[in-house]
Amino acid sequence: MSKKSEVKTRKGQLIHTFGPGAMQINKNGISMIACGLDYWFTQDGTLEPLSSGVINQQYKFNDERLAHKLGVDHFRIPPDETTLDGHQKLRSPIPAIRFPYWHICSNTSCQRLVRISPTSEDEHRCEHCKAPVYQSRFVCACHNGHLQDFPWFEWLNSHNNSDCNESTCKLALVGTGSTAISGVKVKCLTHGSRPVSLAGIFTKPPEGEAGPSSIFKDNGIQCLGHKPWLGCNSFEPCSQPLFAALRQASNIYFSKTDSSIKIPINESNQNDELEEKFENLPLSSKEMINTCGDIEQKVNLMSMATDGIYSKDEIFAFFNDQQKDEQTTELPTTDTKYKFQEYQHLLDIATKGPLITKPLAIDTFEMWFQDCFSAVTQVKELTITNAFYGFDRIEPQTNRTIDNYKKSLRESTNGDANWLPAVQVHGEGIFLQFNLEKVKQWSLNFEKGQAFRTLIEKANKAPLFQNIGEIGPAFLLVHTFSHLLINQLIFDCGYSTASLRERLYVSNTPEIEMCGLLIYTAAGDSEGSLGGLVRMAEPSVFQPVIKKAIESSNWCSSDPICREVGDNGGQGPNGMNLAACHNCALLPETSCEVFNSLLDRGSITSKDLSGNGYFDDFFTES
């Protein structure tokens, strides 16, 4: 791939938007699809892999909990355009190929279909009339993540009972100037058969007893199991129905990501100075020590590497503690336990490590605050890992495993395949824990509401919400308050709304009960942010902010419509919000954990302050 075809893409975008299998447009207007992980960390032109030393030193990092959860050994930061190998600069961009393959002549009196090589970077012209050609706007995909060109010949044959094929026939479109898809038709120039309309290609028939169907399946057109991002000849058997989509449509790529707060996974007694010295050893020395099975040999090598400044007893104790830590590490087995580990660390004090926290004395807050909340923690430093492990097409799926997703990212699972792309960001935050006993009592009354019960029924059927745990009154309360708090913090903390993010901790499971939220800001540099958010947690500053957030829930500029729509079926995409709209409770998509859904100001304060709102007493007492 030459420089003229490159697309400048941020590393964060490669995790969330333009990862393997995603399409984007280059500066020449050519749609390109990013290649799989097999092609990452290779030299431009030759596709020779970069040396393991360069990868380990510049791109490799670990987050043990998240790596265990996703079933990999480590993570890698997406490669830079150029990589420094010693004194040599190597171009190492992520390769991409042209897709779709089928192009259409721009001459409206011609409109022939032309197939062009996926590796071609040139601007092509129609062989018949010499007019420029452009890529087809139609592609097809299935729920297994496969992607292919629109099946022009199969579509034509299924409607004309003909036997046209690419080797003997030439196709052309008719009526591409029409605003309706029914006005676009394909015809065979070789046989002169009647043009066939593309009407109905986006239609989704209702799902029957045999499972999902499509207009292509009804016409005998099957998914080819094509994975063009892994190579032109990458196919696998597939029984899923095929669906048509516009190549730039939002439903052609749903990235699957997971995030984690990096926490100490064990309580280490190691010598901090010696540990730092070990981490700063040359890579070759570290690898030599790590590969030694005998602890005595490790001690001797470490003693030589540190010029004997530490006694062998100190070094022996260091490696002995290291082995104990590795043996006693407890890694979570469920998503709820995963977050519960973070929840516990956010409630404790920590003065060093990847997560530095300072719980504030709750008795320094006023009584009304203590009645609603049980803990406030200043999170002075935190590290968030965001990892990419796959993608869906057409609509998000709930029946695919992490291992199934990972198989779509590379052609071969042999060799260097035990990693995933990820980025780490550093920042600060405020953790707020609700009064769990009060939330339980309030929930008993709130869950009786008909609007809430209807919302939960819809949420339980929606694929998007299958992995967020139990959705109950506490979740709506914590999530809605998180949004209102972010919208209030921006006036005082110095960050914009888009710079703040939420992380929700809600669980009714015995022994791992949670009810809290973390508001944090994260930046890509190693120093993180500057403390403006942490300062907001001080009682004299935080209490007025909380008061204003509560008061903001009682009124929206769209009321009474916002409240009434919430009481009568919900609003927003698929009606997944109650009293919550863009004028009161919604945030930028990057700030919200749950796609700006499952929000209700009524969980904060009820319309008539009848007690259905968690903070209704705040108004009646004041």
**pLDDT over 70 at 210, yes or no:** no
- How many of the other CB atoms lie within 10 Å of CB of 221? 19
Q: Is the pLDDT of residue 470 over 90?
A: no
pLDDT at 135 over 70: yes
Q: What is the mean pLDDT of residues 244-254?
A: 94
Of 197 and 286, the one with more pLDDT:
197
CA angle in degrees (0–180, nearest 5) for 533-342-459: 90
Domain of 454 in residue numbering reads as 335-621
Find the mean pLDDT for residues 554-570.
Answer: 91
Do 422 and 349 share a domain, yes or no? yes
Whether residue 397 is contained in a domain is answered as: yes
Asked if residue 254 lies in contact with residue 391, where contact means CB atoms within 8 angstroms, the answer is: yes
Whether 67 maps to a domain, the answer reads no
Inter-residue contact 20 to 409 (CB < 8 Å): yes
Q: 535-550 b/e with 16+ CB inside 10 Å = b?
A: bbbebeebeebbbbbb
Range 521-539 average pLDDT: 76
Quick one: pLDDT band at residue 328, thresholds 50, 70, 90?
A: very low
Gap between the terminal Cα atoms of the chain: 67
Angle at CA of residue 191, ends 187 and 196, nearest 5°: 25
Is there a domain that residue 31 lies in?
no
Pick the last residue of a domain from 306, 328, 350: 328
614 versus 194: the higher-pLDDT residue is 614
H or E element that contains 533: helix 532-535
* pLDDT score for 209: 54
Q: pLDDT-based confidence at 381, cuts 50/70/90? A: very high
Same domain, 391 and 353: yes
Compute the distance between CA of residue 581 and CA of residue 566 in angstroms, rounded to an integer.
10
Residue 322 predicted with pLDDT over 70: no
Of 163-177, 193-207, 304-318, 404-418, give the lowest mean pLDDT range.
Answer: 304-318
In degrees, rounded to 5, the angle at the alpha carbon of residue 516 between the alpha carbons of residues 582 and 539 is: 90
Better pLDDT: 529 or 15:
15
Confidence of residue 329 (pLDDT cuts 50, 70, 90): very low
Q: Which of 328, 353, 372 corresponds to the end of one domain?
A: 328
Locate 248 and state its tokens.
Answer: 């730039």
User: Rounded mean pLDDT of 294-323?
Assistant: 78
Residue 46, helix vs strand vs coil: coil
| pLDDT tens track for 173-200 | 987 666 788 889 999 999 888 899 999 9
**Could you tell me if residue 365 is inside a domain?**
yes
Check whether residue 294 and residue 440 sit in a common domain: no
Question: Contact at 8 Å (CB) between 430 and 533?
Answer: yes
230-240 average pLDDT score: 92
Q: Are residues 471 and 581 in the same domain?
A: yes
Which tokens sit at 356? 């530095």
- Please determine, for residue 332, whether its predicted confidence score (pLDDT) is greater than 70: yes
Kindly give the interhelix angle for 272-279 and 283-290, rounded to the nearest 10 degrees. Answer: 110
Instruction: Report, as an integer, the average pLDDT of 398-422.
Output: 87
- Give the pLDDT of residue 488: 95
Residues 311 and 339 in one domain: no
What residue type is assigned to position 392 of the chain?
D
Alpha-carbon distance of 134 to 124, in angstroms, equals: 8
Domain count, the chain: 3
Q: State which of 297, 328, 359 marks the end of a domain.
A: 328
Same domain, 108 and 160: yes
Q: With 60 as the cut, is the pLDDT of residue 622 above it?
A: no
Going by pLDDT thresholds of 50, 70 and 90, the confidence category of residue 330 is low
Q: In this structure, are residues 401 and 389 in contact, taking their beta carbons and an 8 Å threshold? A: no
454 in the same domain as 347: yes
Determine, yes or no, domain membership for 352.
Answer: yes
Mean pLDDT over residues 246-260, rounded?
Answer: 94
The confidence score (pLDDT) of residue 409 equals 95
* Separation in Å, CA 226 to CA 50, 107, 341, 392, 421: 28, 30, 41, 14, 23
**Please, how many CA atoms are within 13 Å of residue 372, restricted to the half-sphere of its CB?**
19
pTM score of the predicted model: 0.84
Which of 392, 393, 98 minimizes the C-alpha distance to 228? 98
Q: Pseudo-torsion of CA 377, 383, 389, 393, nearest 10°?
A: 60
Output the CA angle 387-391-395, nearest 5 degrees: 135
Range 531-558 average pLDDT: 93
Whether residue 521 has pLDDT greater than 50? yes
pLDDT, residue 69, reads 93
567 and 458, same structural domain?
A: yes
Q: Say if residue 221 is in the same domain as residue 352.
A: no
Q: Do 208 and 352 sit in the same domain of this protein? A: no
Which residue type is seen at 1? M
Look at residue 344 and tell me whether its pLDDT is greater than 70: yes
| pLDDT reading at 267 higher than 60 | no
CA dist 546 and 551 (Å) reads: 9
Q: Which residues pair with 386 in a beta bridge?
A: 259, 423
Place of tokens 């941020």: 10
Inside any domain, residue 58:
no
Q: Categorize the per-residue pLDDT at 251 as very low, low, confident or very high, splitting at 50, 70 and 90.
A: very high
* 171 and 279 co-located in one domain: no
Q: How far does Cα 492 stand from its chain's mean position?
A: 29
Between residues 314 and 376, the one the model is more confident about:
376
pLDDT of amino acid 158: 92
Cα distances (angstroms) measured from residue 171 to each of 31, 153, 479: 22, 8, 54
- Spatial separation of the C-alpha atoms in residues 314 and 170, rounded to whole Å: 78
Q: Taking 60 as the threshold, does the pLDDT of residue 525 lie above it?
A: no
Residue 327: band (very low, low, confident or very high) from pLDDT cuts 50, 70, 90: very low
Give residue 225's pLDDT band: very low, low, confident or very high (50, 70, 90): very high
Computed over every residue of the chain, the mean pLDDT equals: 88
423 and 316 share a domain? Answer: no
**Percent of the chain's residues with pLDDT above 90:** 57
Query: Which is more confidently placed, 264 or 151?
Result: 151
**What is the per-residue DSSP string for 116-170?**
--TT--SPPB-TTT--BEEE-SEEEE-TTS-EEE--HHHHHHHHHT----TTT--
At 83, is the pLDDT very low, low, confident or very high (cuts 50, 70, 90)? Answer: confident
Q: What is the pLDDT of residue 597?
A: 94
Residue 197 falls inside a structural domain: yes
Residue 175 lies in a domain: yes
Lowest mean pLDDT among 57-71, 258-272, 564-578: 258-272
